[in-house]
Chain A
Amino acid sequence: MCYVIGSEDEFEAAAQRCLAEGLAAGQKLFRFLPAAATDRHAAGNGLPITFADPARDFLNDGPLVPEVMLSMFAEQTSIARREGYTGIRLVADMDWMLAHPPTPEQVAAFELVLDKAVAELGVTVVCAYRPGSFGLGVTEAAAVHPQHAGSGHPPPLFRMWYVDDDAWQISGQVDLAAIVAFERALQTAAAAGPVRTVGCAGLAFISAAGIAALSRLADTPAPHPMLIQDASGIVRRCWQVLGLHELQPYVKFGDSTSRHAAGDARPAGHGDAA
């Protein structure tokens, strides 16, 4: 979930509720925040919370390295399970990234990679952004989370998030205002490996440029079978009148029950992406 902080009190209350729910679910609780802010939350309102500043504790005060963060998640999840927890739940005040301020593109790219990792690990993560800290990065970060909360920013026009293996989900509206972020999100997804399934059940609108970007996904890094799932009739019609059904016969349309029509043999199952 992406939480865009409008009011500190509101965020703190939401964080406590989220962590309390995690405790009830048997999850090990974490909070990430800048070291300078740790003391403010050290009490944890009585909840057993592990505090960390990723910049200091995992990245040696260096810049963001997504692979290091992903390894940390895998390790902490493994430790938590050995300790008898069902998994981990994290509320991250993303101001911790400001030690080496990332660009909006780096934020979105990290979040997409993180999304994939947490889904595979079954981790629950709330990433909280302050518009004053990240500017346009908040828009892109919100777009690459499956859920959005907080009063600090309007909901993003579109969302794209990892489902499992090589499958991603898109929802919302992809138009002129969202196309740059959308193309970037697709590129980031493709960089992790060929995308073979794109779920469009919640996709209310996609422009011709968005459809073209989606079509390029099937050719990245090389032409490969791709299933566009649960697309609306108008998306299918646009795909056809743009000639893409002939240019890319390896892209198929189907509903949620035809997931394997694109030729992949991936087992079913979804991570607990939050």
Chain B
Amino acid sequence: MSRTVSSPAAKQVFRHEAMFYEDLAQFLAGTVRFLREGIEAGEPALVVVDAAKIEALRAELGNDAARVQFADMANVGRNPARIIPAWKRFTDENLRPGSPVRGIGEPIWAGRSSAELIECQGHETLLNVAFDDGPAWTLLCPYDTVALPADVIAEAQRSHPVLVRHGSRSSSGAYLHEHPAPARWDQPLPPPPPGASRYTAGPGWETLAAIRQAARTHAVRAGLPADSADSFTVAVSEIASNALTHGGQTATVHLWVDGHTVLCDVTDEGQLDAPPLLGRQEPTLQQAGGRGLWLANQLCDLVQVRTGPGGTTVRLHAYL
């Protein structure tokens, strides 16, 4: 069930809209209309889509393209956990009382891996958590209904309160106002393969220094460049530290390679009790802790957090 809703400017709240399109022409029709409305209203706008669509939008907008900021989603959203901080930064810099902003973000495309896809869907839900209680602005999320599977489109209807089809807005009857697991921390992960290297960190076991050495050796042997191997190693160390600090006496670390991805699981016996935006809020100078997951998100290509009564696992991905 759905009902028609008004245009973005009518209601002063955060509006999170999914726009369904079937081809580039529909994509441009919907996004250019959305952007021109904002340009006419004097609203700052940021578009985060792939490079080809940025090029097409610039051409379509002509001189008005100079009034829109663009960023390549392949960079900003390589790890989907970095997208909310980017929107937060944009809104912090541009939102003024009574003067909304608007954005277009397409974090989900057909080439995403299944691991990325689930994290992107969590990202879409977390946008509501991050901005629902804040000032008014509108974020339009295009979905390619031809290239993406039906279950992805169905999930978009659950994470977006407003749907846009052929220029017509309607409320989503499937929208989950209170998602039970907005960050998808409850979704199962496939276990590490039998051949994965296994270490235990903690008192009487391996030191964190030894875990770092193992992680870096593993990353370099897998083919990661030295600076990426350093980043991966720091992320492993941070997550293992978190596990030892919050999860119990020991942390189990698995390292393996899957295709073009270097992976590390850090598992402990504690259940994570934290706000769902953990790792997606830029640290302040004053805060005592909470930098580890943020750092991992910034240094790795994908980070997956899973927790439950049986313990917590954080899986780090670094792409070769």
Q: Which residues of A contact B (CB under 8 A)?
A: 157, 173, 175-177, 205, 207-209, 211-212, 215-216, 219, 232-234, 237-238, 241-244, 247-248
Closest approach, in angstroms, between the C-beta of B151 and any C-beta of chain A? 34
Partner of A242, one of B207, B245, B291: B291
CA distance A176 to B230 in the complex (A): 18
CB atoms of B241 and A207 under 8 A apart? yes
Closest approach, in angstroms, between the C-beta of B157 and any C-beta of chain A? 34
Cβ of B298: which chain A residues have Cβ within 8 Å of it? 241
Q: Which residues of B contact A (CB under 8 A)?
A: 207-209, 212, 227, 230-231, 234, 237-238, 241, 244-245, 282-285, 289, 291-292, 294-295, 298-299
CB atoms of B241 and A241 under 8 A apart? no
Closest approach, in angstroms, between the C-beta of A225 and any C-beta of chain B? 16
CA distance A104 to B271 in the complex (A): 34
CA distance A216 to B283 in the complex (A): 13
Closest approach, in angstroms, between the C-beta of A94 and any C-beta of chain B? 27
Cβ of B244: which chain A residues have Cβ within 8 Å of it? 176
- Nearest to A208 among chain B residues (CB) is B291
CB atoms of A175 and B294 under 8 A apart? no
Cβ of B208: which chain A residues have Cβ within 8 Å of it? 175-177
Closest approach, in angstroms, between the C-beta of B41 and any C-beta of chain A? 30
A-B pairs with the 5 shortest C-beta distances?
A241-B298, A208-B291, A234-B230, A176-B241, A175-B208
Known contacts A157-B209, A238-B295, A243-B282; is A207 also within 8 Å of B237 by CB?
A: yes
Query: Could you list 5 further interchain pairs (A-B, Cβ under 8 angstroms) beyond the known A208-B294, A216-B285?
Result: A157-B209, A173-B209, A207-B237, A238-B234, A242-B295
Cβ of A177: which chain B residues have Cβ within 8 Å of it? 207-208
| 10 examples of A-B residue contacts, CB within 8 angstroms | A175-B208, A176-B241, A177-B208, A207-B238, A207-B241, A208-B291, A234-B231, A237-B299, A242-B294, A243-B282
Cβ of B231: which chain A residues have Cβ within 8 Å of it? 234, 237
CA distance A205 to B250 in the complex (A): 21
- Nearest to B287 among chain A residues (CB) is A212
Of residues B244, B284, B285, B298, which shows the largest number of chain A Cβ atoms within 10 Å of its Cβ?
A: B285
Cβ of A157: which chain B residues have Cβ within 8 Å of it? 209
Known contacts A233-B227, A233-B230, A242-B283; is A175 also within 8 Å of B299 by CB?
A: no
CA distance A216 to B285 in the complex (A): 8
Cβ of A173: which chain B residues have Cβ within 8 Å of it? 209
- Nearest to B297 among chain A residues (CB) is A241
Cβ of A205: which chain B residues have Cβ within 8 Å of it? 209, 212, 234, 237
- Nearest to B230 among chain A residues (CB) is A234
CA distance A215 to B286 in the complex (A): 10
CA distance A205 to B236 in the complex (A): 12
CB atoms of A208 and B238 under 8 A apart? yes
Closest approach, in angstroms, between the C-beta of B213 and any C-beta of chain A? 10
Partner of A208, one of B212, B285, B292: B292
Cβ of B282: which chain A residues have Cβ within 8 Å of it? 243
CB atoms of A209 and B209 under 8 A apart? no
Cβ of B295: which chain A residues have Cβ within 8 Å of it? 208, 238, 241-242
Closest approach, in angstroms, between the C-beta of A217 and any C-beta of chain B? 12
Closest approach, in angstroms, between the C-beta of A163 and any C-beta of chain B? 25
CB atoms of B289 and A209 under 8 A apart? yes
Cβ of B292: which chain A residues have Cβ within 8 Å of it? 207-208
CA distance A215 to B295 in the complex (A): 15
CB atoms of A212 and B291 under 8 A apart? yes
CA distance A215 to B238 in the complex (A): 18
Cβ of B237: which chain A residues have Cβ within 8 Å of it? 175, 205, 207
Closest approach, in angstroms, between the C-beta of A75 and any C-beta of chain B? 42
CA distance A247 to B284 in the complex (A): 8
CA distance A4 to B241 in the complex (A): 28
Partner of B285, one of A209, A219, A233: A219
Closest approach, in angstroms, between the C-beta of B216 and any C-beta of chain A? 10
CA distance A126 to B71 in the complex (A): 58
- Nearest to B201 among chain A residues (CB) is A176
Cβ of A207: which chain B residues have Cβ within 8 Å of it? 234, 237-238, 241, 292
Cβ of A209: which chain B residues have Cβ within 8 Å of it? 241, 289, 291
CB atoms of B294 and A234 under 8 A apart? no
CA distance A248 to B284 in the complex (A): 11
Closest approach, in angstroms, between the C-beta of B234 and any C-beta of chain A? 6
CA distance A216 to B295 in the complex (A): 18
CA distance A76 to B227 in the complex (A): 50
CA distance A219 to B245 in the complex (A): 27
Closest approach, in angstroms, between the C-beta of B162 and any C-beta of chain A? 32
